[in-house]
Amino acid sequence: MKIGQVYSHLNGVEFLLVHKRDLWEEIQNAVWNVDAGKAFDNTSRKKTMVGRRRYSPSRLNALFKQEFSYHGWHEMRIPYFVNEDLQTTKETVDIRDKELQRQAIISRGFQPYGTYNQVDFVKERVAVEVQFGKYFSVQYDLHVKHTFFYGRGDMDVGVEIIPMHSLMSQMSSGVAWYENELTNIVREGRSNPSVPLILIGVEPD
């Protein structure tokens, strides 16, 4: 595959070029090493694509996972507890030890509910999400996942890899695409999300 476009939000690319150039090169190489030809699905059954092959999001994800895992990138999952009370949430949201957080919620008379946040690939405080899912998944990644890990101090830069329109048009309906997500970020203003991010649009060679 190839990189179609790159958007640097709050100097995400610049940070990597100065502090972690080798990781930026690994991310680019991971994209270039993915053979999109291996990700074709069976003949499409969509009415608008009858008789045509399309790219499988799950197969593309698997190919990216193979590339990143080979270079030592790994998943990061952080469990934590939530509850229904606003004031208790404000008082416990920043407790990093999940058991201390659970006990703090219980001590205030509320039921703690376990949940977690997860990011696909992490290495040396750089977090990468490869997103070939529904359009809302990218917004969740940008405004919840990356913000969560950055706010905790677990990462310095978040990277979101999504298809360009040229690739999206050959995939399942409802898949997020670069040009649209770039517009969403720009519309929200320079400081939102408040996390250094790199949005990468990918497409077949």
pLDDT, tens only, 16-32 = 999 999 999 999 999 99
Residues 6+ apart with CB under 8 A from 72: 123
DSSP 144: I
- Residue 154 to residue 38: CA distance in whole angstroms: 34
* Position 165 pLDDT exceeds 70: yes
* Position 162 pLDDT exceeds 80: yes
* Position 136 pLDDT exceeds 60: yes
Does residue 184 form part of some domain? yes
Residues 6+ apart with CB under 8 A from 85: 108, 110
Does residue 171 form part of some domain? yes
Average pLDDT over residues 43-58: 67
Does residue 68 form part of some domain? yes
Is the peptide bond between 193 and the residue preceding it cis, with omega within 30 degrees of 0?
yes
* Position 3 pLDDT exceeds 90: yes
**CB burial class (10 A; 0-12, 13-18, 19+) of residue 202?**
buried
Average pLDDT over residues 144-160: 93
Full-model pTM: 0.90
Does residue 56 form part of some domain? yes
Average pLDDT over residues 152-174: 91
- Residue 126 to residue 120: CA distance in whole angstroms: 11
Could you tell me which residue, 115 or 174, shows the higher pLDDT?
Answer: 115
Element (H, E) at 20: none
Residues 6+ apart with CB under 8 A from 93: none
Does residue 163 form part of some domain? yes
For the chain, give the percent of residues with pLDDT over 70: 93
* Position 171 pLDDT exceeds 90: no
Q: pLDDT category, 45, cuts 50, 70, 90?
A: low
Residues 6+ apart with CB under 8 A from 28: 3
Could you tell me which residue, 172 or 126, shows the higher pLDDT?
Answer: 126
* Position 44 pLDDT exceeds 70: no
The answer to whether 84 and 46 have CB atoms below 8 angstroms apart is no
- Residue 34 to residue 56: CA distance in whole angstroms: 13
Domain count of the fold of the chain: 1
Does residue 93 form part of some domain? no
Residues 6+ apart with CB under 8 A from 158: 12, 119, 127, 128, 129, 141, 142, 145, 146, 149, 150, 195, 196, 197, 198
Task: Report pLDDT for 109.
Answer: 97
CATH for 46: 3.40.91.20
Q: What's the domain range around 16?
A: 2-77+119-203
- Residue 68 to residue 156: CA distance in whole angstroms: 18
- Residue 146 to residue 19: CA distance in whole angstroms: 19
Q: pLDDT category, 73, cuts 50, 70, 90?
A: very high
Within a 13 Å sphere around the CA of 26, how many CA atoms are in the beta-carbon half? 22
Does residue 102 form part of some domain? no
Does residue 154 form part of some domain? yes
